[in-house]
A and B are shown apart, each in its own frame.
Chain A
């Protein structure tokens, strides 16, 4: 499909385990964003990648969170030693450029992470 694809759509993990969340952006999109959304809350910025520039990691809540983007395309968000407060929907978005008046970001449907 032509949209942003995230996998898995749902993930239940035990506290203390590591998880990897995957995002396939729209082909050709140079900017990729990760957000976290807890139930009933807004989107919390985590990290963004723009082309070959160093990623903006300013939103990562702790050193248990990391993300990489290989080959400027697929991105993986890794959460180590998961905690119950990590339970949320993790949303990925991509856009054709990071700034610009008509830069629409397209979202994937998210990965719902539940830490038990």
Chain B
């Protein structure tokens, strides 16, 4: 089993849609979690950290479920500029999921 697993997508959604991604992890000792965004042919950049109580940043909401060992990212009111690959990261030595590709269409 991979340490971090994501649905690779692609997710093709219309503008304004709400879309959610999940990511599961295998190491129950993992302590910190993140979502990164990677645009085509660019390096990944931090989107948001994931806190135990869940956290929100504008249109983005991140959740952590330790019992089931998964994290999620919810994007509301999708914009064209949200089109990218979203990578979940589980920290113990920053293990990345394979990424979920999102395309928002007009």
Contact = CB atoms under 8 A, between A and B. Distances in A.
Contacts of A102: 49
B93 A107 contact: no
Interface in B57-74: none
Contact of A42 (B43, B92, B93, B99): B99
Contact of A100 (B32, B45, B87): B32
B87 A101 contact: no
B49 A110 contact: no
B92 A107 contact: no
Instruction: Classify chain B: how many residues form its interface, as a range.
Output: 20 to 34
B32 A42 contact: no
A101 B32 contact: yes
B34 to A, nearest CB: 8
Contact of B87 (A43, A48, A56, A110): A43
Interface string B60-103: 00000000000000000000000000010101111111110000
B98 A42 contact: yes
A48 B95 CA distance: 10
Given A99-B31, A100-B32, A103-B32, A42 B51 contact: no
Interface in B27-54: 31-32, 34, 42-46, 49, 51
A99 B34 CA distance: 12
A41 B31 contact: no
A99 B92 contact: yes
A103 B91 contact: yes
Given A93-B94, A99-B31, A100-B32, 17 more contacts: A35-B96, A42-B98, A42-B99, A56-B93, A91-B44, A99-B92, A100-B31, A101-B51, A102-B49, A103-B32, A103-B91, A104-B46, A104-B49, A105-B46, A105-B89, A108-B43, A109-B42
9 contacts: A42-B98, A45-B96, A48-B93, A99-B31, A101-B32, A105-B89, A105-B94, A108-B43, A109-B43
Interface of B: 6, 31-32, 34, 42-46, 49, 51, 87, 89, 91-99
